[in-house]
Amino acid sequence: MTQSVTTAPTLGLRVGDLVEVLSVEEILATLDSKGELDNLPFMPEMVRFCGQRMTVHKVAHKLCDTISRSGIRKMENSVHLAGARCDGSSHGGCQTACSMYWKEAWLKRVEPGSPLPVEASRPTGRIDLPLLVENTHKAPGPDGGERFSCQATELLRAAPTCLPFRDLGQYVTDVKTGNVTVWASVKAFGVSLFNRVQDVSRQKLPQKLWFKEGLRWGFIKGQPGKKTPTAHLDLQPGELVRVRSKEAILATLNEDMLNRGMGFEIEMARYCGQTARVQARVDKCIDEKTGELLTMKSPCIILEDIVCAGVYNSSCPREFVPFWREIWLERV
């Protein structure tokens, strides 16, 4: 095993580029004893893509920190591939469906139309490779409970450097890589600047001088001291639903923007009033902070083609899949 240091030249990938995932053996040769490259785990769920030709969906040069809420962090030499989301099969059946990170060292660029290798390595199912499987777990928690390790739980190590909003290079990279358009990048900077001004105003100015109550762009606010309500629609995959209005959803949240422990993010408010089909009911997810597999008392909903687009979050390319309480939805 290597010492997990990227030495190969970068591929300079852009959105839409065609790549081939290296064989399992080639990728294993890049990993350290923890099954990682540059502190990023290569997970068993990724093995099924080895040998396949895939398209770059986003260049993962940055990401949003959903663990410590430190903001945007810098990632090196990584991309997201179209259709490559984690199925949780080696992580207790986690249903978060994260878009997996692929180091450029695990890929090679190919020209469209070029013939496939004669002996392409294309596993059709999961391969239980000891190194990868062993490192899907952390040490047990204080109560002796099982804890998992995955790319999501290790992102602070894989992306240790914070990227301030005033670093204009990130917005240029967003455009050069094809992640977003010029106009979308300009808007992302404008929103980040506005949010910074709002944060400072709340810290430095008396409340009567706050604009829009000092709220960040999107202007959502829960209800202080409110016991949050619930609803049981028993929604099933394939059903058509409409996301309720922003006002109706805000009425279900407490002052921490939570409904029975589940957060409603500003990005989710962009979908209010839109219709979508139910993709899945979710009752298991890994806590990114602890690695514990959480089982929800009340299942939540994933909607087809609804992801966090990063519009209000510096064009983060992570495309996290939002979880929806049934009380935030209505049948159509």
- For residues 45 and 86, the answer to whether their CB atoms sit within 8 Å is yes
Query: What pLDDT score does 131 carry?
Result: 86
Site of tokens 């294993």: 28
* 3-class SS of residue 186: helix
Spans of all domains in the chain: 18-112+121-162, 164-217, 218-332
Report residue 327: phi and psi, to 5°: -70, -15
Residue 122: predicted pLDDT: 52
The pLDDT of residue 77 is 96
Euclidean distance between CA atoms 196 and 11, whole angstroms? 34
Q: Pick the more confident residue, 269 or 129.
A: 269
What mean pLDDT is reported for the chain? 92
Tell the CATH topology of 218-332: SH3 type barrels. (2.30.30)
Name the residue type at position 283: D
Helix (H) or strand (E) holding 286: strand 275-286
pLDDT tens figures, 246-271: 999 999 999 999 999 899 999 999 99
Do 242 and 220 meet the contact criterion of CB atoms below 8 Å apart? Answer: no
| pTM (predicted TM-score) | 0.91
Supply 81's token pair: 């591939």
3-class secondary structure, 262: strand
Q: Are 72 and 173 in contact (CB under 8 A)?
A: no
Distance CA(331)–CA(242), nearest Å, equals: 6
How many angstroms from the chain centroid is the CA of residue 214?
27
Residue 223's pLDDT is what? 87
